Amino acid sequence: MTKSPLPPITDALTPRPAKRPNLRDLKAPQIVEDSSVSENSRALGTKWGAQTSLDEPDPAMTSLRMVIPEYVDRQLSLKAAEAKVTKQYLVLKALSEAGYEVREADLIEDKRKRRRR
C-alpha cells in the first residue's frame, strides 16, 4: 500500500473567494398572530406531554419602575414580610388611603397565592 503525498499546507492558507449566498431564496417572515402561536404551543405541549403555562398578560395592568431610597425599600420589605403580603400590595394600599382610586379587586395581598388555586 503506497501512501499518496499530502498536499502542501500553503494550499490551505491561500484565501479562496467565499461562495455568495443567493439572496433571492430568502423569504420575508410570515406574520403570525400571538393567539395562533399560543395555540400551537399548547398543542405541541399536549402532544409531547410537556407542561405549557402561557399566562395571558392582564391588559388592565401596567408596570411602574422607580428608584427609592434603600431605607424605604428595607421598611417596605420588612412590613411586607411581617404582614405576609407583597410590596406592591403595600404601595397600592397606601395610594388608596391617600385618596387614589384603587379597586378592591386589584388589592391582592399575595398574587402568588391566587395562581396556586
pLDDT tens digits for 33-71? 888 888 888 888 888 888 766 566 666 788 889 999 999
Give the pLDDT confidence score for residue 113 in this predicted structure: 54
Residue 30 to residues 41, 43, 54, 99, Cα–Cα distance (Å): 17, 20, 22, 49
Q: For 81-93, what is each residue's pLDDT tens digit? A: 999 999 999 999 9
pTM of the model: 0.48
Specify the DSSP element, H or E, that contains 93: helix 87-97
- Report which of residues 12 and 68 the model is more confident about: 68
